Amino acid sequence: MKSLFDIRKQLASGKFEFSRHAFKRAIERNISDLEIMEAGSNAFIIEEYPEDKYSPSVLLLGFTQRERPLHLQVTSTDALFIKILTLYEPDADHWDNYSRRK
C-alpha cells in the first residue's frame, strides 16, 4: 500500500488515471484535472477500504485553490499511477466538516 505522502505526490503531479465511472463523474460534476491535482496535494485520508471490491482503496478529502472540497476515492496499491475510482464534492448535509459521515 502507498503512503499518504506518495498518494499526494502522485495526485499533485498528475500521475493518476480514471476508472470509467470516475471519468464520467468528473465530466458530470465539472471537476478538472487541475482541481484534482490541487486537492490531491493537500488531501488526507478520511476512510479506508482494505477489502474493497478490486483492490484496497481510500477516501480522501482535499481542497482546491478556490477552497472547493473534493472527495477522491483512489486505489492505494503500488501501481505506477493512482487510479481514481470516484470523485465528488461532498454534500454538507451528509458530511460533518466534509470529513465525517453524519
| pLDDT at residue 76, rounded to an integer | 75
81-93 confidence digits (pLDDT tens): 999 999 999 999 9
pTM listed for this prediction: 0.94
| pLDDT at residue 78, rounded to an integer | 75
CB 16 within 8 A of CB 36: yes
| pLDDT at residue 54, rounded to an integer | 81
| Residues in the chain where the model's pLDDT stays below 70 | none
| pLDDT at residue 65, rounded to an integer | 98
* Region class of 97: left (phi > 0), else alpha (psi between -120 and 50), else beta: left
| pLDDT at residue 42, rounded to an integer | 98
| pLDDT at residue 94, rounded to an integer | 95
